[in-house]
Amino acid sequence: QVQLVQSGAEVKKPGASVKVSCKASEYTFTDYYIQWVRQAPGQGLEWMGWINPNNGGTNYAQKFPGRVTMTRDTSISTAYLELSRLTSDDTAIYYCARYRGGSYRFDLWGQGTLVTVSS
């Protein structure tokens, strides 16, 4: 079954970092970018950036200067989002989504990972 499966919920303290994974199944991982989108409680969706699994190229939203790192491990078809210097404003559900370059649509989404930042 073509799907993206994300890692489980995390609870972190302010100032810490979190790393969320997104494993692709039943399609060629390097044929599609992985985009990351988050949804804070009661808020809409917010784009965070993308990684090209083929070459590791990345593009991050300007809102997260120096705090976001997106990586991938092609041997296990998995993309990662790491967010550092967490604050309570980073409490959100984080989604990965598949994107074919030039298609301008996110055609497959993961189930989401809840990250809670609390002291």
Binding interface with other proteins (CB under 8 A):
4, 35, 37, 43-47, 59, 61, 95, 97, 103-112
* CA–CA dist 4, 78 (Å, integer): 9
Q: How far is the CB of 48 from other proteins (least distance, A)?
A: 10
Q: How far is the CB of 14 from other proteins (least distance, A)?
A: 25
Q: How far is the CB of 40 from other proteins (least distance, A)?
A: 11
* CA–CA dist 27, 35 (Å, integer): 16
Nearer to other proteins by Cβ, of 9 and 15: the residue is 9
Q: How far is the CB of 71 from other proteins (least distance, A)?
A: 20
Nearer to other proteins by Cβ, of 18 and 97: the residue is 97
Query: Positive or negative, the Cα torsion across 47, 33, 84, 9?
Result: positive
Nearer to other proteins by Cβ, of 69 and 112: the residue is 112
Does residue 74 sit in helix, strand or coil?
A: helix
Q: Which two three-digit tokens encode residue 41?
A: 């409680």
CB 94 within 8 A of CB 81: yes
